[in-house]
Amino acid sequence: MGFSVILFHSVNGAIKAEKILKGEGVPYKLIPVPRHLSSDCGLALRFEKKDEARVRELIEGKVEIQGIFDL
């Protein structure tokens, strides 16, 4: 089982995405941004790779993201 992470432009974006996923019952975990993806401080949202299509669908147009990356 693999994981993906979403990087956000702001912590507010991470919190908003967290609320959306929590409300829809999608498993996730807020983590520090992995250093190999960005040197920015902040939060990333980790989820199972198998849920990526659902996650994209839920946050599209609601939360501005930097991107979704595989771990």
| Structural domain harbouring 54 | 3-70
Here the tokens at position 25 are 């019952």
Q: Which two tokens stand for residue 11?
A: 């912590």
Q: How many domains is the chain built from?
A: 1
Task: Give the N- to C-terminal CA distance of the chain in Å, as an integer.
Answer: 11
Q: In this structure, what token pair is assigned to residue 64? A: 């501005």
pTM to 2 decimals? 0.87
User: Hey, what amino acid is at 34?
Assistant: P
Residue 50, domain CATH: 3.30.70
34/26 Cα distance (integer angstroms):
21
Per-position pLDDT tens, the chain of length 71: 799 999 998 889 999 999 999 999 999 999 998 888 875 668 999 999 999 999 999 999 999 999 999 98
